[in-house]
Chain A
Amino acid sequence: MEELNKHDYVTIWLDGQMCGIPVLEVHDVLSKQTITEVPLAPDAVAGVLNLRGQIVTAINLRKRLKLPDREDSSQDMNIVVEYQNEPYSLIIDKVGDVLSLSEEAFEKNPVTLEPCWQEVSNGIFRLDKELLVILDIEKLLSLGESKAAA
């Protein structure tokens, strides 16, 4: 792919699936936060939260990717990213390590991947035991547009 440091990824888990987010895009990793729900908001928007005086819009990634809700959400984690100069917090199950991956292990999305995953994934890395789905922040957060397309 393009640049070396782009191959460093923070690994996260969602409903048992490992995913990766480019490490340069991650601003913060937080434990579970108090979230104020926003009525009438799109489904994937969990609400808004206060991060050191900054209002951050929280996105429930499980909902975004049409995964079932987590039974016990007390262990939820937040990854804060920025999109179009606005902070967003992605609610996920668990955060793992930062992995530096070589390009050889990279694969394109299999064509049979579900459309809602296809839409937000840039490709897949083959790891020893698992597969790492690379999530594209921009595509994840361009909620309105994807909705219009759907």
Chain B
Amino acid sequence: MDDLLNEFLTETFESIEVVDVELVELEKDPNNKSVLDNIFRLVHTIKGTCGFLGLPRLEAVAHSGENVLGKFRDGEMEVTPEAVTLILKALDRIKEILAGLEETQEEPAGDDSEIIDQLNAMAAGEAVSVEQSVETVIEVSEERPMVPGEVTLDELEAAFLAAPGPDDEDPEEVQATSSRLDSIGGSETVSVISHLFHNRINSDASLKMLLQDVDLMVSKKAVEDFFTASIESEKCEEAMVATAFASFIKQGIAEDQFYNTTVHLENVLEEVGLSTMDAEFIKELYGQSSKAMIEAAKNAVNASVEKKETGKKTGSAKEGGIANQSIRVAVDVLDNLMNMVSELVLTRNQLLQISRRAGDSEFDIPLQRLSQCTTELQEGVMKTRMQPIGNAWSKLPRIIRDLQMELGKKIDLQMLGADTELDRQVLELIKDPLTHMIRNSADHGIEKIEDRIAAGKKETGTIRLNAFHEGGQIIIEISDDGAGLAVEKLKAKALKNGLATEDEISEMSDQQIQRFIFHAGFSTAAQVTSVSGRGVGMDVVRTNIEKIGGTIELKSTEGKGTTFFIKIPLTLAIVSALIVESGEERFAIPQISVLELVRASADSTHTIEFINSTPVLRLRDRLLPLLHLNKILGFETDDDLAEADEDANREDFIIITQVGDFTFGIVVDRVFDTEEIVVKPVAPILRDLTVFSGNTILGDGTVIMILDPNGIATEVNEAMSDIAEQRADSDAESLVSSFDDKEAILLFRAGGDTKRAVPLSLVSRLEEFDVSSIEISEGSKMVQYRGKLMPLVMINDQYEIRSEGRQPMLVFTDNEKSMGVIVDEISDIKEDKINVELSSKAIGQLGTAIIDGVATEVIDIAYYFEKTFNDWQLSAENIEVESKLKRKNILIVDDSTFFLNLLKPLLTTAGYNVTIASTANKALELREKGYEFDLIVSDIDMPEMDGYEFAEEVRENGQWRETPMVALSAHSSEKRFSKGREAGFNNYVEKLDRDTLLKAIEEQIADRETAA
């Protein structure tokens, strides 16, 4: 019974899915007879099997649904959207019951009378209007003129009462007046009888042969026709016996067999719920056919014996036919098979290795054959797991149809490449995300009809699904021609949700902003509908897709539509992986996450460079952070690594990987080849090791771990964000107070042995250039740098550039202008505090500080900037620009002399008059003295009175109440930002962000002018 039930369930689920799709089809094309027949047949089969399995609820719902479909088929009723909706509703109910059935093996309890009544009403309502008195028709149609399929229960009741139904009248009379067929329940009942009758015979071992080699569909139909015709004429239509029971006759049905079939028929008649009288009647009809049948059978047997003798070869081969072209296999069996084949592949590889080692041997040829068979077997088994992506789409037409109804939109769903195949495991995993995305497109993407017309678009929106293979991956495009993503809305939302700061957003491209929809809790739907917009959406889609190693991208043009691109691997089971070695062990890295491989050694073009013992790699204009796999896996410590680095012959292999936006290199000891591996999950005990995504068995039988670049990146990022925080802190503090904490200082030599230093945070790049590339322009030395001319600065006038070879330089960039300070040698980067012991009179120097125990000159970059860019600007043609700016007065409040020294020339060059105050109190003194400024720039972290208090004080009273204020701080967090605003700052800028500072100043001043 269980097996039977299971089979029923799978079969029925499948049928229902087909019906779903076909109904939608039918709605579009109500005259398509073949679609209708197909639907009818499927529902009919469901009903028939339900009866057979004793599932009364299902049977009742299916029966009522079938009644309505029957009316469609017989042309007694028109196919209307309402009717289709009702039938779809019935199907949903059937699905519900089936789901319950699947869970508990029993039909769940529940009341279906409502839906059954509705269905019956629909079927009967139309029947009334077709067959019954004209009066009733008018009455009914007056009450519901717009929707011809829909009838309220009351109306129906009335119609029923008005109609002369079988219940009201004498049964004898009914037989006389209405046809016998109607009393039995119409042609549907007959077809059920025929269906069940065949089923019974088929499941009876002694009778099964009667239906051997026969297309059941054809036979059922023939038997049905026979009964229908016979019932209608109230006598056995003997002429039809030969066709109806052709196979019985052909198999030479005997009398006892015929009797047995009669018993089955009896049971069926009883089951279908016919009255005893009708049942007897049909039985009699069948009985009457016996004579004709058995006689014909005898002749047939004789004939066939002759035939067999003459042409044995034309036997049954052909008759096997279409029926048995596919079989149903449990997924478990396939999975198991897949596993076994994977093992076979591995064993084959092992054998091949052994044979290769042994040289020529007699095994070679059989092995080669084994190898080939294995490959083919592997492909074959893989193929069994492949399913067309259309399977995942089958629900979509129905969903779109329902959405159209619900949302009042017109949507055309186009599906291309539905036969693109992919692994069923992958298919299962993308089903839900896809459905979700289609829903989104329909709900948010496609506009309402009015809006579409207003925007000059076609009334009907289009959603297009397109799937295709590309380079071992499947690409699925989902595009709609709807409203597209509103970038401004997204910006506002991102800001509101604290996903990014205003500054960050202002620097983002539209595409980056659009990607915000993949963040958790991000829904742009102005309104939460029942369809989507609950805020859990695209982020889940993204995680689901990324989980299976896929990616999702989008392209959207506001007003034009949105397209999503999903890339997913064909299969999860077998992946190509790069085998690497670290700490004398081998590991696999999925090829898909490897961008490129770089070999680094002392004599190659690529070398690993260090910034304060942090390894980095210069790769085509980018500096990539490096991670040592040995260190990540705990084989080596930093010290070991440092030691190893001193080895000049050392060779490193770097695997460049990308995780999200983070590109980095993983340093490994050796790289072997790539191998196809079968990914297996690790044991639960090892599951919290995020650096591994699984393990696998290699061709030689050893087990190796599969590295997960995602996990490595997270692991490292945690550590890195710590460092980054530290760095940020130290940077900040070094600038905030010149006497406390450490900062990173770049030490170099330029001209003589004097050690010189500059805070690393001010340096934008370290470069090396060939002295021959120096060009002279208007008396200044320059080099071409990134497509521009960059002036070169000597540390002092006595400095001489080397005559040949390469010369290092420090590049400082400010406001899109760069200058290169030429040095002899970059000596080191040290963490120390800059504590200027002796302030210097010499130009270009802040003073001398003791760094790392040695007296070091701290150079004044501000001076060089001023020198270079003033000259630069004067020599260039943009003096105009400067004069245009009416010199505005700006007050800078900052306790760090160093920072003031940097900021002042910056603002001066930008065309402002700058006044400085080293504390907030000093600034307030200036206020007392009656100074006026156009703008105040203030640091936040200051001793005595901090920036917030200062701002509050300024806003409180005095003549600066209206003066715009810009806060400066190294810490830019949302919290500080809002605190700053509360205190009275108009804007908040990160300290080292010069461009933004200048922009902010400009904006504030402009705002004030327009306000004034």
Q: Which residues of A contact B (CB under 8 A)?
A: 34, 36-42, 45, 47-50, 52-53, 55, 57, 84, 86, 88, 141, 143-144
Contacts A48-B703, A50-B703, A53-B697 given; does A40 touch B691 at CB 8 Å: yes
Q: How far is the CB of A83 from chain B (nearest CB, A)?
A: 9
21 example contacts (A-B, Cβ-Cβ < 8 A) are as follows: A36-B704, A36-B705, A37-B585, A39-B585, A39-B634, A40-B689, A40-B691, A41-B686, A42-B685, A45-B686, A48-B683, A50-B697, A50-B703, A52-B343, A53-B342, A53-B347, A55-B683, A86-B683, A88-B683, A141-B685, A144-B685
Contacts A39-B634, A50-B697, A55-B697 given; does A143 touch B702 at CB 8 Å: no
B659 at the interface (CB under 8 A from A): no
Interface residues of B in 683-721 (CB under 8 A from A): 683-686, 688-689, 691-692, 695-697, 701-705
Partner of B703, one of A39, A55, A88: A55
* A149→B703 CA distance, assembly (Å): 31
Task: Give the residue among A39, A47, A84 with the most B Cβ atoms within 10 A.
Answer: A39
Closest-by-CB residue of A relative to B344 is: A53
Contacts A41-B689, A50-B697 given; does A34 touch B633 at CB 8 Å: no
Task: Give the residue among B688, B696, B704, B705 with the most A Cβ atoms within 10 A.
Answer: B705
Q: How far is the CB of B338 from chain A (nearest CB, A)?
A: 12
The answer to whether A38 and B692 have CB atoms under 8 Å apart is yes
The answer to whether A53 and B633 have CB atoms under 8 Å apart is no
Q: Which residues of B sit under 8 angstroms from A50, Cβ to Cβ?
A: 697, 701-703
* A40→B688 CA distance, assembly (Å): 10
* Interface residues of chain A: helix, strand, loop or mixed (majority): mixed
Ordered nearest first, which 9 A-B pairs have the shortest CB separation? Answer: A39-B633, A53-B343, A57-B683, A48-B703, A36-B703, A50-B703, A86-B683, A50-B697, A143-B685
Q: Which residues of A sit under 8 angstroms from B128, Cβ to Cβ?
A: none
Partner of B633, one of A40, A55, A143: A40
Closest-by-CB residue of A relative to B685 is: A143
Partner of B686, one of A34, A57, A84: A57
The answer to whether A86 and B684 have CB atoms under 8 Å apart is yes
* A118→B343 CA distance, assembly (Å): 41
Given contacts A41-B689, A48-B683, 16 further A-B contacts (CB under 8 A): A37-B585, A38-B686, A38-B689, A38-B692, A39-B705, A40-B633, A41-B685, A50-B697, A50-B701, A50-B702, A52-B343, A53-B343, A55-B703, A57-B685, A84-B684, A86-B683
Q: Which residues of B sit under 8 angstroms from A144, Cβ to Cβ?
A: 684-685, 688
The answer to whether A48 and B689 have CB atoms under 8 Å apart is no
Size bracket, chain B contacts: 20 to 34
B259 at the interface (CB under 8 A from A): no
* A99→B343 CA distance, assembly (Å): 36
Q: Which residues of A sit under 8 angstroms from B680, Cβ to Cβ?
A: 55
Q: How far is the CB of B733 from chain A (nearest CB, A)?
A: 35
Q: How far is the CB of A87 from chain B (nearest CB, A)?
A: 8
* A21→B440 CA distance, assembly (Å): 56
Q: Which residues of B sit under 8 angstroms from A57, Cβ to Cβ?
A: 682-683, 685-686
* A86→B685 CA distance, assembly (Å): 10
Partner of A55, one of B634, B691, B692, B695: B695
Closest-by-CB residue of A relative to B629 is: A39
Q: Which residues of B sit under 8 angstroms from A53, Cβ to Cβ?
A: 339, 342-343, 346-347, 697
* A15→B400 CA distance, assembly (Å): 69
Q: How far is the CB of A1 from chain B (nearest CB, A)?
A: 28
Q: Which residues of B contact A (CB under 8 A)?
A: 339, 342-343, 346-347, 583, 585, 633-635, 680, 682-686, 688-689, 691-692, 695-697, 701-705
Q: Which residues of A sit under 8 angstroms from B696, Cβ to Cβ?
A: 55
Q: Which residues of B sit under 8 angstroms from A34, Cβ to Cβ?
A: 702
Q: Which residues of B sit under 8 angstroms from A41, Cβ to Cβ?
A: 685-686, 689
* A47→B339 CA distance, assembly (Å): 22
Contacts A39-B585, A40-B634 given; does A49 touch B703 at CB 8 Å: yes
* A45→B683 CA distance, assembly (Å): 11
Closest-by-CB residue of B relative to A143 is: B685
Q: Which residues of A sit under 8 angstroms from B689, Cβ to Cβ?
A: 38, 40-41
Q: Which residues of B sit under 8 angstroms from A52, Cβ to Cβ?
A: 343
Q: Which residues of B sit under 8 angstroms from A143, Cβ to Cβ?
A: 685
* A49→B905 CA distance, assembly (Å): 67
* A100→B649 CA distance, assembly (Å): 64
* A25→B342 CA distance, assembly (Å): 27
* A53→B680 CA distance, assembly (Å): 11
Q: Which residues of B sit under 8 angstroms from A39, Cβ to Cβ?
A: 583, 585, 633-635, 705
Q: How far is the CB of B102 from chain A (nearest CB, A)?
A: 23
The answer to whether A48 and B634 have CB atoms under 8 Å apart is no
Q: Which residues of A sit under 8 angstroms from B704, Cβ to Cβ?
A: 36
The answer to whether B585 and A36 have CB atoms under 8 Å apart is yes
The answer to whether B703 and A45 have CB atoms under 8 Å apart is no
Q: Which residues of A sit under 8 angstroms from B702, Cβ to Cβ?
A: 34, 36, 50
* A45→B685 CA distance, assembly (Å): 8
* A48→B695 CA distance, assembly (Å): 9
Q: Which residues of A sit under 8 angstroms from B346, Cβ to Cβ?
A: 53
* A50→B343 CA distance, assembly (Å): 11
* A37→B633 CA distance, assembly (Å): 11
The answer to whether B684 and A48 have CB atoms under 8 Å apart is no
The answer to whether A38 and B684 have CB atoms under 8 Å apart is no
Q: Which residues of A sit under 8 angstroms from B703, Cβ to Cβ?
A: 36, 47-50, 55
Closest-by-CB residue of B relative to A53 is: B343
* A149→B526 CA distance, assembly (Å): 49
Q: How far is the CB of A2 from chain B (nearest CB, A)?
A: 27
Q: How far is the CB of A55 from chain B (nearest CB, A)?
A: 5
Q: How far is the CB of A92 from chain B (nearest CB, A)?
A: 18
* A40→B691 CA distance, assembly (Å): 9
Closest-by-CB residue of B relative to A144 is: B685
* A45→B634 CA distance, assembly (Å): 15
* A53→B343 CA distance, assembly (Å): 6
Closest-by-CB residue of B relative to A57 is: B683
* A45→B692 CA distance, assembly (Å): 15
* A77→B267 CA distance, assembly (Å): 66
Q: How far is the CB of B341 from chain A (nearest CB, A)?
A: 11
Q: Which residues of A sit under 8 angstroms from B686, Cβ to Cβ?
A: 38, 41, 45, 57
The answer to whether B705 and A48 have CB atoms under 8 Å apart is yes
Q: Which residues of A sit under 8 angstroms from B635, Cβ to Cβ?
A: 39
Q: Which residues of B sit under 8 angstroms from A55, Cβ to Cβ?
A: 680, 683, 695-697, 703
* A94→B617 CA distance, assembly (Å): 51
Closest-by-CB residue of A relative to B347 is: A53
Q: How far is the CB of A78 from chain B (nearest CB, A)?
A: 14
Q: How far is the CB of B702 from chain A (nearest CB, A)?
A: 6
Closest-by-CB residue of A relative to B683 is: A57
* A52→B342 CA distance, assembly (Å): 12
Q: How far is the CB of B339 from chain A (nearest CB, A)?
A: 8
Q: Which residues of B sit under 8 angstroms from A37, Cβ to Cβ?
A: 585
Q: How far is the CB of B632 from chain A (nearest CB, A)?
A: 8
* A47→B697 CA distance, assembly (Å): 13
Q: Which residues of A sit under 8 angstroms from B701, Cβ to Cβ?
A: 50
Closest-by-CB residue of A relative to B687 is: A144
Q: Which residues of A sit under 8 angstroms from B682, Cβ to Cβ?
A: 48, 57
* A47→B259 CA distance, assembly (Å): 71
* A41→B689 CA distance, assembly (Å): 7
* A88→B685 CA distance, assembly (Å): 10
Closest-by-CB residue of A relative to B689 is: A40
Q: How far is the CB of B709 from chain A (nearest CB, A)?
A: 16
Q: How far is the CB of A43 from chain B (nearest CB, A)?
A: 12
Closest-by-CB residue of B relative to A88 is: B683
Q: How far is the CB of B358 from chain A (nearest CB, A)?
A: 21
